[in-house]
Structure 1
Amino acid sequence: MLKVTLKIEGMMCGMCEAHINDVIRKVVPNAKKVKSSYAKGVSTFISETEPDKDELTDAISETGYTLQAMDTEEYTKKLFGLF
């Protein structure tokens, strides 16, 4: 599993976050835990495979926002109360 972080320019409100989340779910159907923050200019999600950056860039720009950077890192599920 991968944690994907997108740096997005142009989000100004909660509706912008919702638009970006919808685009991510459309382009990456297996995306889980999709979250966006207009205050931070960041969207994150969990994916089984690395998404296509060009496809995300195009889809995000079609909605009026700009994908500035994409970062992926190994995702490990947090275990609580097992120790």
Structure 2
Amino acid sequence: MNKTELIDAMAADAGVTKAAAKKALESFLGNVEKTLKEGGKISLVGFGSWSVSERAAREGRNPQTGATIQIAAKKVVKFKAGAELSDAVN
């Protein structure tokens, strides 16, 4: 499912216009991004949680040449599925 299909499904399920569903989805995504940028954590009980984790700098290899390269440290977003979501999938 892509973003357009999700907006269509949200509009149908909630009985709202596609424009309202798009606005709601963009607001949700924007707030998730803002919270994670500020170093916060988001938890939706039963669905899952998002958090930011630090990945340390490390040494890697270029697969084409085999040469050793330095991979810089960076922050990564992690998602952990909640119990209800995990149960629904399995």
TM-score by structure 1 length? Answer: 0.25
Structure with greater proportional helix content: 2
Bigger RCO (CA 8 Å, 6+ sep): 1
Task: Give 1 or 2 for the bigger CA radius of gyration.
Answer: 2
> Higher strand share goes to which structure?
1
